[in-house]
Amino acid sequence: MSFPDPIGLEEDVAEALSRMTERLCTTLRASGRGARSLRIEAHRCDHQMHWQTVTSAVASDQPHRLMPLIRLKISGLEAGPGIDMLRLEAVVHEPLHARTRTGHLEAAEQGTRRVQGGAALDDLVSRLGARLGMETITRRAPADSHIPEKASQILAAAWSRPARDWPAPAVPRPLLLWRPEPVTAPDTPRPPRTFRWRGRDWQASAQTGPERIAPEWWLDDPDWRSGARDYWRVDTDRGERLWLFYAHGGATSSGWFCQGSFA
């Protein structure tokens, strides 16, 4: 878009980009595609060009979803003595819908599921990514491992979808999980009534377990060289419920450790 006179105010640039976004989205919809990444070019009257990249968490052909991301980038265009031309390009675009014949009722149901399935979350990821960088926005997803600390994986939120079906463990898992921390207690598989952890003495009021978890024998994980573990849910007299385990010993010695908290 060219201008008869150079512009420089952010609201003028935003208005021009809004019109350009409408046109771009019309073109995208006609081809059944959505923009995933946009490039904004500001050509100044001093023959300099400044550009910004806008990335969306999901491909979109909707101006009301793309414009908030574009607005976040306008201040970085550096209008200088004035902008006499703006260019908006969808540098990465993807098919929005499978090109299959679908009945009207089924198509409507699919559209409803897409709207209810996380459009607001996708927009949030896009806005956070525009400010912080898409690579910094991540989400957890299930992983195929029986080891507690390996039961999930971290994925880039912009290039993954929320997990719908998390596998339910046979027994409860703690709300907080950390690397195993040594516990001072008698070196016996029987859960301790008293123990010392993080410089404090603790009194157990109830214990539930054990749950035996064996290491992945095909991997040499340094954290699991102490062999199979017996996990216990231990209620303390202070009201905490801790996740303790007894390591039976292997390449390293046996003993008690604390790995998580249920509250």
Where do the structural domains in the chain lie, given as residue ranges? Answer: 2-124, 137-167, 176-261
Q: What stretches in the chain show pLDDT beneath 50? A: 98-116
**pLDDT, position 103:** 47
> SS3 sequence, the chain?
CEEEEEECCHHHHHHHHHHHHHHHHHHHHHCCEEEEEEEEEEEECCCCEEEEEEEEEEEECCHHHHHHHHHHHHHHHCCCCCEEEEEEEEEEEEECCCCCCCCHHHHHHHHHHHHHCCHHHHHHHHHHHHHHCHHHCEEEEECCCCCHHHCEEEEEHHHCCCCCCCCCCCCCCCCEEEEEEEEECCCCCCCCCEEEECCEEEEEEEEEEEEEECCCCCCCCHHHCCCCEEEEEEEECCCCEEEEEEECCCCCCCEEEEEEECC
**pLDDT, position 97:** 65
**pLDDT, position 118:** 61
- Name the CATH superfamily, with its identifier, for domain 2-124: DNA polymerase, Y-family, little finger domain (3.30.1490.100)
